[in-house]
Amino acid sequence: MSGKGRIWSWTTTHRSVITNFDQVLPYTCIVVELEEQAGLFLVSDLVGRELGAELKVGLPVSVFFAPLGEKGKVLPQFKLDQDRE
């Protein structure tokens, strides 16, 4: 998998509904349609975006993996891919 896709949908959470997520508020949860196949979706979060910056369906994103917590666990996260706009 290339790790590249386009935003299909999103929501931004401003109030914590899950324990320990209040330290990352607000966060944006996105649905990404991956480049490899139409209709192949992955739900993740979007990082590195200024709050209030406009999102649009179809904006290109790329995956990255950053360690989370002390145990070195990683999750796929996405950032806007300005080189492909």
Q: What is the pLDDT of residue 71?
A: 78
Q: What is the pLDDT of residue 52?
A: 61
AA letter at 85: E
Architecture of domain 4-84: Beta Barrel (2.40)
* pLDDT, mean of each 10-residue run, the chain (85 residues): 94 83 84 95 88 84 85 87 78
Q: What is the pLDDT of residue 67?
A: 79
Q: What is the pLDDT of residue 72?
A: 77
Q: Are 11 and 29 in contact (CB under 8 A)?
A: yes
Among the listed residues 36, 26, 30, the one whose alpha carbon sits nearest the alpha carbon of residue 78: 30
Backbone Cα Rg of the chain: 13
Q: What are the sequence ranges of the domains in the chain?
A: 4-84
Is the peptide bond between 67 and the residue preceding it cis, with omega within 30 degrees of 0?
Answer: no
Token representation of residue 43:
């739900």
AA letter at 35: E
